[in-house]
Amino acid sequence: MTSPAQPQPVPKQASRPAFARWLGQTNDVTQTFLAAGRIPGLINLAGGLPDPSVWPVQALARHAHDAVALHPGDTLAYSPIDGLPGLRDVIARRFSRGDLRLTRDNVLITTGGMQALDLLGKVLLDPGDAIAAQSPAYLGALDAWMPRAPVYQPMRLDRNDVDISGQMTGAKFAYTVPNFSNPSGRLVGTEQRRELVSAAQDTGCWLVEDDPYGALYYDGEPLPRLLDLSASGDPYDGPVIYLGTLSKELAPGMRIGWVIAAPEMISAMTTAKQGSDMFTSGVCQRMAQGALEEGLPEQILPGILSLYRARRDALCAAMSEHLADLYDWEVPSGGMFVWAVAKDPRLDTGKLMQRGLDHGVCISPSSVFDPEGKDHRATRLNFTLNPPDKLAEGIRRLAEATRAELDTL
């Protein structure tokens, strides 16, 4: 006879270590966005996504095929941390103009513009260091630097009477998006661009020019880049750290970005990249090189501009019809966003975001673009993803939700 089975002792489970402290400081808005994506019929004005119809699918498929078939060494082997030399050369050539002299030593290829932001934090920030950041600021940048616990010196570039040097003093770097900032859609004027460059030269602060929207000018000619205005040295050794990406001009899924900066900064960021992802996918780099050599971004740009310009106009027309008594805004001359500030200072767009979901519209609240999370009065509205009729209906729903929210105050 076998003896009855003895109950097995439950293995002792030690409690696991806590996650790093910074994780507890992230906002839950991203989770709300993800959940909102599953609500049927919801109109999403919150994101910052390109319209998939602009992607040159066949041309990119051809470049993907050629990348592997013709360049297996570049695409299937381990490759240099700082990027394929051919792609770095193409980028150096595209951006060299006038007095700006760039070589491949000025260029680092990154896995999207997002990685460049992360690497910047790695090479420049010790805990408690200061960043002078254009206010309001890109959420992704704030997220990238959160683990390094920086302090922020807000930089207002929406007025001409601000002391830019004073705002930069003591900061490791100044973070700007001069072309159609995310989230404000604001274009920084040429005079203020010159002031930013001379303040960087006077204070010794690095000056970051994050430029995903630089090709998306719907009205008027492109303004000079901070990089151009700071041209010095051969190769370039000025204070600007320029961040570029193919995400808005070609396709975000390629995850191709680049940094243009003084060689000492490129080598520091290269060291940091080694411990991040070793190198950016060779397949995507070779695709990008083929596409840039062929001039693919220039070929598709007119189509992108006319599609997005019409959508900007449709959104702003609907705003004038439904939101004129509720919000103030400026019509942006490019980019992907309109920044709407509530006339009633009591409106909390964090609460409005939740109420909007009941009315079938999703918006971004301003608190996530403020390092201190205190700005509750504005919302960022995207116009590139939805066709004009949906934009108009989304704005009508937003007006309804705003009135309902104001009625509770």
Binding residues vs ligand PLP (CB under 6 A): 48, 112-114, 138, 140, 177, 182, 210, 212, 245, 247, 252, 257
CB of 386 to ligand PLP, least distance (A): 17
CB of 77 to ligand PLP, least distance (A): 25
Minimum CB distance to ligand PLP smaller for 212 or for 238: 212
Cα dihedral value 54, 55, 59, 63, nearest 10: 150
CB of 187 to ligand PLP, least distance (A): 14
d(CA 165, CA 146): 25
Task: Give CA angle at 244 (243, 249), nearest 5°.
Answer: 155
Minimum CB distance to ligand PLP smaller for 258 or for 327: 258
Minimum CB distance to ligand PLP smaller for 42 or for 144: 144
**Buried/exposed code over 41-75 (b: 16+ C-beta within 10 A; e: otherwise):** ebbbbbbbebeeebbbeebbeebbeebeeebeebb
User: Residue 235 CB: number of other CB atoms within 10 A?
Assistant: 17
Minimum CB distance to ligand PLP smaller for 257 or for 332: 257
Minimum CB distance to ligand PLP smaller for 80 or for 140: 140
Minimum CB distance to ligand PLP smaller for 95 or for 318: 95
CB of 256 to ligand PLP, least distance (A): 8
- Torsion sign, CA atoms 348, 354, 358, 362: positive
The token pair that represents 199 in the structure block: 């303040």
| Residue 140 vs residues 121, 185, 301: alpha-carbon distances, Å | 12, 16, 25
Minimum CB distance to ligand PLP smaller for 207 or for 323: 207
**Angle separating helix axes 296-322 and 282-294, nearest 10 degrees:** 90
CB of 70 to ligand PLP, least distance (A): 26
d(CA 365, CA 136): 12
CB of 321 to ligand PLP, least distance (A): 28
- Torsion sign, CA atoms 60, 63, 69, 74: negative
CB of 278 to ligand PLP, least distance (A): 18
Minimum CB distance to ligand PLP smaller for 188 or for 399: 188
CB of 212 to ligand PLP, least distance (A): 5
CB of 145 to ligand PLP, least distance (A): 13
* Greatest extent of the chain over all pairs of C-alpha atoms, in Å: 95
* Residue 316, SS3 per DSSP: helix
Minimum CB distance to ligand PLP smaller for 192 or for 245: 245
> How many alpha carbons lie under 13 Å from residue 252 in its C-beta half-sphere?
12
DSSP string, 98-163: TTB---GGGEEEEEHHHHHHHHHHHHH--TT-EEEEESS--HHHHHHHGGG--EEEEE--SSSS--
